[in-house]
Amino acid sequence: MNSNDLKMVAEALSMQQSWQVGKVLDRKYELTRPLSSKPVANAYLATEIETGESVVLRRCPPGAERGSLEREWEALEACKGDSVQEALSLYPASGFLSVMFYPNATPLIDLSPEQVDAFPILLPKILKAVSHCHKAGWIHGDIKPSNVLWDHDTNAIRLIDFGAAMPIGLSRKHLGSWHASVGFSSEAQTAGEGTAHPSDDWFALIRWIRQLDKVDVSEMSRHNLNRTLEWLGTQM
Ligand SMILES: Nc1ncnc2c1ncn2[C@@H]1O[C@H](COP(=O)(O)OP(=O)(O)OP(=O)(O)O)[C@@H](O)[C@H]1O
Ligand SMILES: [Mg+2]
């Protein structure tokens, strides 16, 4: 382990201790439960003490470079819309931001085998949501099943977790740290090379759809998925 690794471990340990269930932040929120699957959770469900309402609080992962929380906030503001998680407040001094909690929504990673035929129906909405961010000048940067929420009541989808979002055209070369999800990121993104490009998100979506090859979907769904794959291929 080199000194940088040790610094990261120390930071992760201190972050683990600084956010725990029951902790009050800024005299405004009480942490209710961790939402992330990571050992050091960066997303927590919290209660706004004054109103009793639930919100999601997000902070930067250990090792994140200075300014990355502000960048996430900027991305959320620029990409505002029906298919994007709503940003509420930024607390730069305390190092977190709050976003709307959607109690009736589940991430697409939780789709059961019986629900998998719903995916091709939701897919056009996901394409539209991602395109919407691109038109606003940003890539989401971490498109994957745990970062797309599905509201069962309205059948709406919402992109969440803009922690890896980047302005289109920004070079990764000068970034001190960046995020890439294994299995969903191109070699260049994983290596921190090149510039942020819409094809980074389309690449992730292609990977996601290809993973569905392993599950049983109806002929109709397969047809729709193949058509989408064809279109995505033209965007690379
Ligand atoms: N606004 C929200 N409304 C409802 N559920 C949410 C919301 N934000 C996050 N979640 C839930 O918490 C999970 C993790 O959230 P998020 O992706 O923001 O954190 P993360 O640190 O990237 O964690 P992970 O690595 O597990 O994705 C989501 O997959 C989803 O189940
Ligand atoms: Mg996530």
Q: How far is the CA of 121 from the centre of ligand 2 (A)?
A: 22
The angle at the Cα of 140, spanning 232 to 101, to the nearest 5 degrees, equals: 120
Return the best residue to mutate from 60, 146, 151 for the ligand 1 pocket (most ligand atoms within 8 A of CB): 146
Q: What is the pLDDT of residue 214?
A: 64
Q: How far is the CA of 37 from the centre of ligand 2 (A)?
A: 8
**Near ion ligand 2, which residues have CB within 5 Å?**
146-147, 161
At a CB cut-off of 8 Å and minimum separation 6, what does 165 contact? 71, 72, 75, 76, 79, 133, 138, 139, 140, 141, 142
Residue 1 has pLDDT above 80, yes or no: no
Q: What percent of the chain has pLDDT over 90?
A: 64
Structure tokens at 93: 């001094």
Q: CB atoms < 10 A from the CB of 24, how many?
A: 12
Q: How far is the CA of 221 from the centre of ligand 2 (A)?
A: 26
Choose among 14, 50, 36, 35: nearest CA to 181: 36
Determine whether the shortest distance from the Cβ of 76 to ligand 1 is under 6 A: no
Whether residue 131 contacts residue 63, with contact meaning beta carbons closer than 8 Å, is answered with: no
Q: What is the pLDDT of residue 158?
A: 97
Residue 188 has pLDDT above 80, yes or no: yes
Q: What is the pLDDT of residue 204?
A: 97
Domains of the chain: 3-100 (3.30.200.20), 105-233 (1.10.510.10)
Choose among 97, 102, 177, 183: nearest CA to 145: 183
pLDDT digits (tens, 9 = 90+) for 44-81: 999 999 999 999 999 988 778 888 999 999 999 999 99
Determine whether the shortest distance from the Cβ of 39 to ligand 1 is under 6 A: no
Q: What is the pLDDT of residue 62?
A: 78
DSSP helix, strand, coil percent of the chain (3-state; round to 5): 40, 20, 40
pLDDT digits (tens, 9 = 90+) for 94-107: 999 999 999 999 99
Give the number of the ligand closest to the Cα of residue 106. Answer: 1
Choose among 231, 21, 228: nearest CA to 121: 228
Question: Ligand 1 atom closest to Cα of 85?
Answer: 1
pLDDT digits (tens, 9 = 90+) for 112-143: 878 888 898 899 999 999 999 999 999 999 99
CA distances from 203 to 142, 178, 186, 206 (A): 10, 17, 7, 5
Determine whether the shortest distance from the Cβ of 31 to ligand 1 is under 6 A: no
Q: How far is the CA of 97 from the centre of ligand 1 (A)?
A: 14
Determine whether the shortest distance from the Cβ of 98 to ligand 1 is under 6 A: no
Q: What is the pLDDT of residue 217?
A: 82
Q: How far is the CA of 2 from the centre of ligand 1 (A)?
A: 31
